[in-house]
Amino acid sequence: MLAIGRALVTNPKPVLLDEASVGLAPIVVSKVFEPLRKLGDIGTMILLVEQHVHEALYIADRAYVLENGMIILHGAAKELLSEDRVKKSYLGLT
User: Across residues 65-77, what is the average pLDDT?
Assistant: 88
Q: What are the backbone dihedrals phi and psi of residue 75, each rounded to the nearest 5 degrees, phi first?
A: 150, -165
- The closest alpha carbon to 58, from 43, 74, 79, 73, belongs to 79
In tens, the pLDDT along 7-22 reads 778 888 898 889 988 8
Helix ranges restricted to H, the chain = 2-9, 26-41, 53-59, 77-81, 84-89
| C-alpha of 7 from chain center | 17
3-state secondary structure of 14: strand
DSSP class of residue 78?
A: H
Q: Report whether 73 contacts 64 (CB < 8 A).
A: yes
> What does the pLDDT read at residue 32?
85
The yes or no reply on domain 2-89 and CATH 3.10.20.340 is no
Q: Give the start-to-end residue ranges of the domains of the chain.
A: 2-89
DSSP class of residue 83?
A: -
Write down the pTM of the prediction: 0.76
